[in-house]
């Protein structure tokens, strides 16, 4: 599954267009590497998102085949870290 679609499906990001923009602007890393929106996501990948002075790190637990209910979305990732970072505004 594409990274931008996975971020939206897992509810880590509210909309796919926002996920796409975040990836295009270098705000998302997969396994320590800056990721493009079309990067393939697989189980065990570590996703880091930095946005608006916050950093979220999550591990992919499952990759769905299709649509996912909101109640099931939380089971797709395991959030391992949430921190605030100093941003240059």
Under 8 Å between Cβ of 41 and 19: no
Q: How many C-beta atoms surround the C-beta of residue 79 within 10 A?
A: 12
Confidence band for 85, pLDDT divided at 50, 70 and 90 = confident
**Domains along the chain with CATH numbers:** 3-84 (3.10.290.10)
Nearest to 35 by CA among 60, 64, 62, 2: 2
pLDDT digits (tens, 9 = 90+) for 16-70: 999 999 999 999 999 999 999 999 999 999 999 998 888 999 999 999 988 889 8
Query: Is the pTM for the entire model greater than 0.85?
Result: yes
């Amino acid at each position: 599954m594409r990274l931008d679609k996975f971020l939206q499906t897992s509810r880590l990001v509210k909309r796919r267009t926002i996920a796409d923009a975040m990836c295009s602007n270098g705000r998302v890393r997969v396994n320590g590497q800056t990721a493009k929106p079309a990067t393939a996501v697989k189980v065990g990948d570590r996703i880091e998102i930095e946005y608006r002075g916050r950093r979220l790190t999550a591990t992919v637990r499952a990759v769905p085949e299709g649509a996912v209910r909101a109640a099931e979305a939380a089971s797709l990732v395991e959030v391992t870290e949430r921190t605030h970072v100093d941003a240059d505004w």
